[in-house]
Chains A and B, each alone.
Chain A
Amino acid sequence: MVSKENCRNEIRAAIRQLSDRCLYSAAKWAGEQLVGIEQDPSNFTPSNTRFQRGSSSIRRRFSTNESISTPQPSVGFSQAATPLPEEDETIDGDLYLLAKSYFDCREYRRASHVLRDQKSKKSVFLRFYALYLAGEKRKEEEMIELEGPLGKSDAINRELVSLERDLSALRSTGAIDSFGLYLYGVVLKEKGNETLAIASLVESVNSYPWNWSAWSELQSLCTSIETLDRLNLNNHWMKDFFLGYAYQELRMHTESLAKYDYLQGIFSFSNYIQAQTAKAQYSLREFDQVEIMFEELLRNDPYRVEDMDLYSNVLYAKEACAALSYLAHKVFLTDKYRPESCCIIGNYYSLKGQHEKAVMYFRRALKLNKKYLSAWTLMGHEYVEMKNTPAAIDAYRRAVDINPSDYRAWYGLGQAYEMMGMPFYALHYFRKSIFFLPNDSRLWIAMAKCYQTEQLYMLEEAIKCYKRAVNCTDTEGIALNQLAKLHQKLGRNEEAAFYFEKDLERMDAEGLEGPNMFEALVFLATHFKNHKKFEEAEVYCTRLLDYSGPEKEKAKSLLRGIRMAQTGFPSMDLEHFPI
């Protein structure tokens, strides 16, 4: 376990260094983690506690217990401590100060011009970084200016070439620091040179682990578990944050949860960790838990917009209209032009059945961020609702092209094609989605339904799919029932009976009733009667007698038949009641 005091000191220094270099989002992240570490008893002032989460009394008690143990030096200090780099100049140059203020006013070119002859590492980095951002800004503008008849233009960051040249020269002379390496990695990534980018970023985080931006860039390059495993990273608590994030993106949710669990030991109040945990839980479909976590998160950080789209998804799934509208209103007041806000509003309208408006808001979200994956997928869902399948397919396909492992979009594609009566074509898409999420029963059931359509009528394949669905703990219980029915249809009564029994067990366990129950009972009763297992048959018949309706009559006649058969009379009921 890393000492909390150490962490705190490291982060404090890092925040200063990061904001000196205008790496604001990394500094913001680090700041969040700093207050996420539970309170330092030395400066335990009331103003600080107010800022920290304290609504849960259990937690407060828990935290006070822990705070006692903090000052003690931790034993088994396994992780290598990375020494904090010393600043190369204690007093900042005047030009640097000017450049930084230009930078803060978003006048990037001016900032880089001021620093043109500066030699200190900090100034050099800031100059390159400002140049990069200037190029990015120009690129965005050009994208709108050049919007030609074909919908897009060839806008690129024109500074990339010179940046790459200068940075690689710096690197070859060894005059590059970890921040420079980070920028070099970013530039290489934009130029499409991924392996070099990874190498550069790894070098950067190994020498300076507190730059979260570098870690996130590295994560975006780790598209497979193999690449992740190949990375040669030094041990540091930041690596655990990285791994948790990377596992999550690679859909290894339990591993990711384990990492966050471990980190919560140190950063017990980190909003970030809580949001990430909620994300992982969401992927595991633990909606109730996620809702509680998000509620708490919002209580502590009421103006948070990040990750709130996920919360809205949960509320959507739970059909909590009022809560969703409250959330939408809140984010709307906080920041209207965030893609997340638009997405939440879109979700709200979708839940209200106003699909046109929902589409409008999703479109706005996409205008703000073209690569906003979930908005594409959600828009696809809306189009499906509006029966505009071509548009839905288009939207889903864009989502898939942004992230080929988005199983929801693949599933949506399959669904859309199935709706159009092209089940065979749809199968390919279902297969794709199952490839990315092989233990989700819903996907298997969808695929089985495809095989079951009258156009294909490939029942054997459907049975295989349903079996997989059963193995994946199908919560809705469709698979067992379908399996039984399919076997019944194919005349395999033994198998059918097996699955009907299982289904009955499930329904009993969940306390459900309904036509499925009657069907199972009737089948089982007749089946056992035909096989002369009268005792079992009687059990099922008597269960049927509890219900009213035609089933009751049937049960009665079955019972009569059983009695007759048991007493040795030739059974005539079989002809009367062919099942």
Chain B
Amino acid sequence: MAGLTRTAGAFAVTPHKISVCILLQIYAPSAQMSLPFPFSSVSQHNRLGLYLLSLTKSCDDIFEPKLEELINQLRDVGEEMDAWLTDHLTNRFSSLASPDDLLNFFNDMRGILGSPDSGVVQDDQIILDPNSNLGMFVRRCILAFNLLSFEGVCHLFSSIEDYCKEAHSSSAQFDGSNNDLESLTHYDQMDMEIYAIDKATEELELQKNASGSVPFHLHTPEAIFKVIEGLRVSPKESSRTRKKITEATLVSSASSSTVEDTLVDESLFLRTNLQIQGFLMEQADAIETHRSSSSFSSSSIESFLEQLQNLAPELHRVHFLRYLNKLHSDDYFAALDNLLRYFDYSAGTEGFDLVAPSADCSMYGRYEIGLLCLGMMHFRFGHPNLALEVLTEAVRVSQQLSNDTCLAYTLAAMSNLLSEMGIASASSVLGSSYSPVTSTASSLSVQQRVYILLKESLRRADSLKLRRLVASNHLAMAKFELMHVQRPLLSFGPKASMRHKTCPVSVCKEIRLGAHLISDFSSESSTMTVDGSLSSAWLKDLQKPWGPPVVSQDSGSRKSSTFFKLCDHSVSIPGSVSQLIGASYLLRATSWEFYGSAPMARMNTLVYATLFGDSSSSSDAELAYLKLIQHLALYKGHKDAFAALKIAEEKFLTVSKSKILLLKLQLLHERALHCGNLKLAQRMCNELGGLASTAMGVDMELKVEASLREARILLAAKQYSQAANVGHSLFCTCHKFNLQIEKASVLLLLAEIHKKSGNSVLGLPYALASISFCQSFNLDLLRASATLTLAELWLGLGSNHAKRALDLLHGAFPMILGHGGLELRARAYIFEANCYLSDPSFSVSTDSDTVLDSLRQASDELESLEYHELAAEASYLMAMVYDKLGRVEEREEAASLFKKHIIALENPQDVEQNMA
């Protein structure tokens, strides 16, 4: 409880501040010279001034630099007079031999301040204006020192001794060689930036003074947020399209190492509350964003937090951080323990500043937030039933205490939980639980309940102006619209219309509404900043070489990330907001891949990976990588995809519930299928099926995918009747579990099976049904490929249908060529050639180029895909055409290609060895 109160003595004198004071004395000595002694030029003098300005700005940072670090920085700033500066600094410190010297020192400090009423100042006179930033700093130091009791002075004195001792022990190794020349050159360019940021901070400070207290930040709702986000984006949208990996790989790992550096033990000085709170928030961000990267170890954070807790047991937020840390390192019991402890101690009132303090909150505390967190924790650890119970209680308690904010969050969490939990397991739980919201809807299906919960949450969030929640609810809504097929709500009996449809317009609307957040947010950003984190970023930038002429190896991505970092400082977009916006881009990508526009999907994913890679949670980042790799596999062939996968694997395998393995299996399966290695394909398919049924429950979509793949294998093995059986049962499953969208692809598969088995008449209705499904669900790409199959079926009926097939194909061509993957395109090309060739009115000799062009295209694309079966077909056709044309040499070439592919198809073993 005491952690909340900030006393007047929040600004404590520390040895570091004394060093700054000493430097200030050099900068503005009380003797009135135009240019004080050591400086040779005005610019040198100004440079020191700027440096001191940045030092005073960062004095609220949690970690103050050690003397040694300060000296190193001075070296960069002071140029030729650095030796003098450091000498002076250390001499001044060593001259402080007794507490009395400290007293005198601060008396002297008074002298460098100009008197407040001295209106007339000579031009060349250097006097610190008491109201300037530096002057204020000096005044604060003097005031803080004067407030100290004698014991306090003694403590300060002994800590100064330690401060100097540390520097002496390490400065012996330093040889003084000045190797930081680059940073010096950048330094000049930096000045402008400092001014820019300076303004922002000055404004901030003004606000702070005006309002008396800066609202600490909304750290914990943000944390809640991230947990929600992390859960939300993990699974289902993950699959279908693939993208190219660019330099983006390098982006996110670069910035994570700072945490380690700052974790130096500095128990020496007591920090102000503000500093620690700011620092803790940084740590929370770090825990959440960097939990995947290998340089970030949760144990080091843990030991640090333990230490902090020993130092300041009244600072309850540490417990929350420990909880977060344990949550991310998957330690259930410790997480639970720390969570409960946090809420026991703080009554939920510390750190949740988002909610305006109402009159009665002091009486009851805000334990409902504890319930909310507990529910989400249970969810994360895979106890959905427990989570639902706890969240139900949270709903009840927050209704009772009329905490609408918490209610809105809880409803959002609940809907998230329901939508994640899957369809099979939820109904039994909801039946027994009592909830004002859900009980009214007890007869509804889970999807409908999710929808109602989301609507409720959205309504509340909207009226409470919880922008982030509104945005994330919009995104959830978009996801809901994307995944769930609308049905007329009142459809009973056989005669009711069974028209299903999806509504891309509303998805688009929701996404856009969600993304509005950023523009809304910038208007209120100023209240959200913490000076603690702001000022710590300040000194970090000082050492970072950046500026216009950055021509380093990873220039493109790097620049954008620093750009955003800069925005972080000046406009200060909190990590959670940028995460949300990032999630909206990911969702956009998913919906595009859903509706069948690969380029748009890829573009959105790339935007995400480059702009939001830094702030994203690891599961989001992983998802983006997966999408890009999938894209790569479809459009550039498997070789590239596997190379990219390797990189992603190193990065993400440590993430819990990693989808990387899944993707790997999918890729391996496809590749094995292409190469004709059916045994391997079967193995992969089985493993995939195994992944579908976890301890948490059965992932129906994955299960369907596994059996879909199995049917493909059977098809490739020419076991038509078995494949058809699998397809039929699969269709039944889809129907049973309401997986409308999967139905379309199952129908297409069935059409495909019948086509391959030469039973075109039977295949036609399936293809047509699939097309109509695709049409009502707006699945454009799938529809194009269904159309292709339909055309193939027509051709299979006889060559007299070639014309009709060709027309169908040409109708689908724009979609296929614009958005389709390599395989689909190649198939279309081959089929086009086939159509021409079987068309009796077409003569090869007169119009050979039409056929040859498409065949060449096809075989090029198949080459990179290693799809031997189709490639063999293409070369066979080519050989035939050349034969007709009488071009023997080319015919031989095509024939040998054909032979090569056939052999490769029949001996898949050696291919597999390459793969391994």
Contact = CB atoms under 8 A, between A and B. Distances in A.
B550 to A, nearest CB: 41
A152 B311 contact: yes
B313 A152 contact: yes
Contact of B397 (A149, A154, A397, A422): A422
A444 B169 CA distance: 62
Contacts of A457: 434
Contacts of A394: 1, 344-345, 347
Contact of B393 (A152, A153, A388, A425): A425
Contacts of B370: 425
B300 to A, nearest CB: 18
B765 interface: no
Contacts of A389: 364-365
B341 interface: yes
Contact of B396 (A145, A417, A455): A455
A412 B370 CA distance: 18
Interface in B246-276: 267, 270-273, 276
A401 B309 CA distance: 13
A151 B3 contact: yes
A145 B345 CA distance: 25
Q: Which of B276, B344, B397 is the most central at the interface, judged by chain A CB atoms within 10 Å of its CB?
A: B344
B393 A424 contact: yes
A177 to B, nearest CB: 33
A150 interface: yes
Interface residues of B, number: 47
B715 interface: no
Contacts of A407: none
B347 A393 contact: yes
A422 B152 CA distance: 46
Interface string A366-381: 0000000000000000
Interface in B367-402: 367-368, 370-371, 374, 389-390, 393, 396-397, 400
B270 A146 contact: yes
Contacts of A390: 347, 362-365
Interface in B303-329: 310-315
Most B CB contacts (10 A, CB to CB) among A148, A151, A420 go to A148
A411 to B, nearest CB: 14
A480 interface: no
A149 B7 contact: yes
B1 to A, nearest CB: 7
Contact of B155 (A146, A423, A425, A428): A146
A151 B312 contact: yes
B192 interface: no
Contact of B5 (A149, A152, A425, A455): A149
B99 to A, nearest CB: 14
A175 B276 CA distance: 47
A425 B367 contact: yes
B123 interface: no
Interface in B797-854: none
Nearest to A424: B393
B359 interface: no
Contact of A428 (B2, B152, B310, B340): B340
A247 interface: no
Contacts of B313: 151-152
B234 to A, nearest CB: 26
Contacts of A401: 341
Contacts of B267: 154
B366 to A, nearest CB: 9
A145 B152 CA distance: 7
A541 interface: no
Given A146-B270, A150-B273, A455-B434, A421 B314 contact: no
A413 interface: yes
Contacts of B9: 148-149
B364 A420 contact: yes
Nearest to A404: B337
A405 to B, nearest CB: 14
A422 B367 contact: yes
Contacts of A425: 367, 370-371, 374, 390, 393
B117 interface: no
A517 to B, nearest CB: 34
Given A421-B397, A455-B434, A150 B390 contact: no
A396 interface: yes
A396 B272 CA distance: 28
B735 interface: no
Given A393-B347, A396-B344, A424 B364 contact: no
Contacts of A397: 341, 344-345
Interface string B267-292: 10011110010000000000000000
A146 B312 CA distance: 12
B400 A154 contact: no
Contact of A422 (B276, B336, B363, B393): B393
Contacts of B691: none
Contacts of B363: 388, 390
B700 interface: no
B6 interface: yes
A152 B397 contact: no
10 contacts: A145-B155, A148-B12, A149-B270, A150-B311, A151-B315, A154-B311, A389-B364, A390-B365, A394-B345, A423-B393
